[in-house]
């Protein structure tokens, strides 16, 4: 078996569309920039990633509880958090073709780190470059006729109330740019309604919205996405220990679900947000997008969030230690990852092109627990009633426990190829011997492609062993 290495974004996009993982939004209207829809396979993979994350972050932990807060929140939330005044990116427009570009990304190409620079600082850098004969060019049409950099808010505005009302400062609401806002606002409710004691975490999975300037990297950066976040509340004296514990937990989680360690690396932020004491990212080697890029952020946020919301709401958000009866404002550390970006990382990792005996195949070597379809069931021939009936019976039997797919389309080789491309670990074929002779089926393994004959009576325990062995 000969593995080829070249993974390109075009190949991933094509597989995603061909096999029903990811479709461009509003496809029949020509698409809608930086929004994507998840097809039958994509939604299964997304659900499996969510479940795997939730299991590790909530289900198996005694110190973490879950939450599902609304997307709309009191607009003051975003004033208090600093998002209304400062959640923006520097933008440059092309005067010729009207393309929008992130000024920080354009400077990156000249080795200048513009992270956290103001628009004025960026414009000074651009002038300097220009004096050295290094002009910025439009990444779309190559024109040098560009606007100056200006700050552009990433907040997505909407309005609630009377549909006839104009969008004004009074009725404006924001689609949340991150899910953690809902966690801070419910911190007191959770404290009062459950048995949590410091240190404890609140985890949430949900949609977030950002009016991203640069949105050309498939589902890596989209304007609507899902975040999976843990906000962990603790006494500041425990921060060092707990922070490194959580860094290890998150790193190991990726390894446990099949990401190779060589494809992960830590990035420590040098320039920090004003409230942060330490911030690290887990970067993944998105080779098809040019190399290592942020996958997940793990940050210390101090007491900024609770203090700000306490100040703006006028409500006390401290924590009284039941043993000592002293009150503190807990510090927070967070782990935050985009589910869609994570899905891209796992697809990227799993995508494999192999050459076997002169034939090539594409196979998604996804961890079995993540595979959208666990077992595919085929009748050997489409038009043989008894085979079809038996295969459907097996589908009914196994689908109680596993996501299964019945397929009678095309020859067996074609059906294997389709299942390989969607990452199905096992294919079960019902043939004439099944009915006439041995009451057994052929099971083919995705990775080794080996086949074995198993009695139908033993099928349930066979798959139980296979899927619980991880
Ligand atoms: P980036 O530097 O990539 O813009 P960020 O530092 O602004 O990301 P955070 O605000 O820390 O990101 O968000 C935490 C996580 O949410 C990121 O690590 C990423 O996985 C995910 N995320 C953020 N923005 C997007 C987006 N536009 N599309 C998809 N996922 C996103």
CATH 3.30.930.10 location in the chain: 2-82+169-349
Whole-angstrom distance, CA of residue 143 vs CA of residue 149: 16
Atom 12 of ligand 1: nearest residue by CA position? 297
pLDDT in the model for residue 328: 94
Q: What is the DSSP string of 127-157?
A: HHHHHTT-----TTT----BPPPEEEE-PEE
pLDDT of residue 1: 61
* Substitution candidate for ligand 1 out of 105, 283, 297 with most atoms within 8 A of CB: 297
Answer whether CATH 3.40.50.800 is correct for domain 373-468. Answer: yes
CATH superfamily for domain 2-82+169-349? Bira Bifunctional Protein; Domain 2 (3.30.930.10)
The pLDDT of residue 162 is 64
Q: What is the pTM of this model?
A: 0.93
Contact predicate 234/243, CB 8 Å: no
Ligand 1 probe mutation, 224, 276, 341, 342, most atoms within 8 A of CB: 341
Candidate from 336, 342, 346 with most ligand 1 atoms within 8 A of CB, to mutate: 336
Any idea which fold 88-153 has? SIR2/SIRT2 'Small Domain' (3.30.1600)
Q: Where in the chain is the domain with CATH 3.40.50.800?
A: 373-468
Q: Cite the residue boundaries of each domain of the chain with CATH code 3.30.1600.
A: 88-153
pLDDT averages per 10-residue partition of the chain, 470 residues: 76 96 94 93 98 97 97 93 89 90 87 86 90 88 91 89 64 92 96 93 98 84 96 96 97 98 96 86 96 96 95 95 91 97 98 89 96 97 91 96 95 94 98 93 96 96 87
Q: Which atom of ligand 1 is nearest to the CA of 281?
A: 18
CA distances from 216 to 58, 104, 107, 111, 294 (A): 33, 15, 17, 21, 16
Distance between CA atoms of residues 65 and 232, nearest Å:
10
Cα 27 to Cα 10, 31, 466: the distances in Å are 17, 4, 39
Question: What is the 8-class DSSP label of residue 238?
Answer: G
| 357 CA distance to ligand 1 middle (Å) | 43
**In Å, how far are 165, 289, 320, 368, 462 from 469, measured between CA atoms?**
59, 34, 44, 10, 11
Ligand 1 pocket: which residues have CB below 6 Å? 178, 210, 212, 221-222, 225, 227, 294-297, 336-338, 340-341
Q: How far, in Å, from the CA of 194 to the mean position of ligand 1?
A: 30
């Amino acid at each position: 078996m000969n593995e080829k290495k070249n993974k390109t974004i075009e190949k991933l996009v094509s597989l995603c569309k061909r096999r029903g993982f990811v479709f461009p939004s509003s496809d029949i209207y020509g698409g809608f920039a930086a929004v994507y829809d998840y097809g039958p396979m994509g939604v299964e993979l997304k659900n499996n990633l969510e479940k795997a994350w939730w299991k590790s972050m909530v289900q198996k932990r005694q110190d973490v509880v879950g939450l599902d807060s609304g997307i709309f929140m009191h607009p003051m939330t975003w004033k208090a958090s600093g998002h209304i005044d400062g959640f923006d990116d520097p933008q440059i427009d092309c005067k010729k073709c009207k393309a929008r570009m992130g000024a920080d990304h354009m400077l990156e190409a000249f080795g200048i780190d513009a992270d956290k620079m103001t628009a004025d600082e960026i414009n000074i850098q651009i002038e300097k470059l220009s004096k050295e004969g290094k002009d910025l060019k439009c990444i779309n049409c190559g024109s040098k006729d560009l606007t100056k950099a200006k700050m552009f808010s990433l907040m997505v505005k909407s309005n609630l109330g009377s549909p006839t009302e104009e969008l004004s400062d009074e009725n404006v609401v924001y689609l949340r740019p991150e899910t953690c806002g809902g966690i801070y606002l419910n911190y007191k409710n959770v404290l009062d309604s459950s048995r949590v004691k410091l240190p404890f975490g609140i985890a949430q999975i949900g949609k977030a919205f950002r009016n991203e300037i640069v949105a050309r990297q498939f589902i890596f950066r989209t304007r609507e996405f899902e975040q999976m976040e843990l906000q962990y509340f603790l006494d500041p004296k425990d921060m060092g220990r707990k922070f490194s514990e959580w860094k290890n937990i998150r790193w190991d989680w990726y390894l446990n679900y099949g990401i190779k360690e060589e494809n992960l690396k830590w990035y420590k932020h040098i320039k920090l947000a004003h409230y942060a004491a330490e911030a690290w990212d887990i970067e993944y080697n998105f080779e098809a997008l040019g190399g290592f890029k942020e996958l997940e952020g793990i940050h210390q946020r101090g007491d900024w969030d609770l203090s700000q919301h306490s100040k703006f709401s006028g409500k006390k958000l401290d924590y009284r230690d039941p043993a000592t009866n002293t009150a503190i404002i807990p510090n927070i550390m967070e782990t935050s990852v985009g589910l869609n970006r994570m899905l891209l990382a796992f697809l990227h990792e799993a995508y494999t092109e192999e050459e076997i005996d002169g034939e090539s195949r594409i196979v998604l070597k996804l961890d079995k627990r993540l595979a959208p379809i666990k077992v595919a069931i085929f009748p050997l021939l489409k038009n043989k009633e008894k085979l079809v009936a038996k295969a459907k019976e097996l589908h009914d039997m196994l689908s109680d426990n596993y996501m299964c797919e019945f397929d009678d389309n095309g020859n067996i080789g074609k059906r294997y190829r389709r299942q390989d491309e969607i990452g199905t670990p096992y294919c079960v074929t019902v043939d004439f011997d099944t009915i006439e002779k041995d009451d057994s089926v052929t099971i083919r393994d995705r990775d080794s492609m080996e086949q074995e004959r198993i009695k139908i009576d033993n099928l349930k325990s066979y798959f139980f062993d296979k899927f619980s062995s991880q």
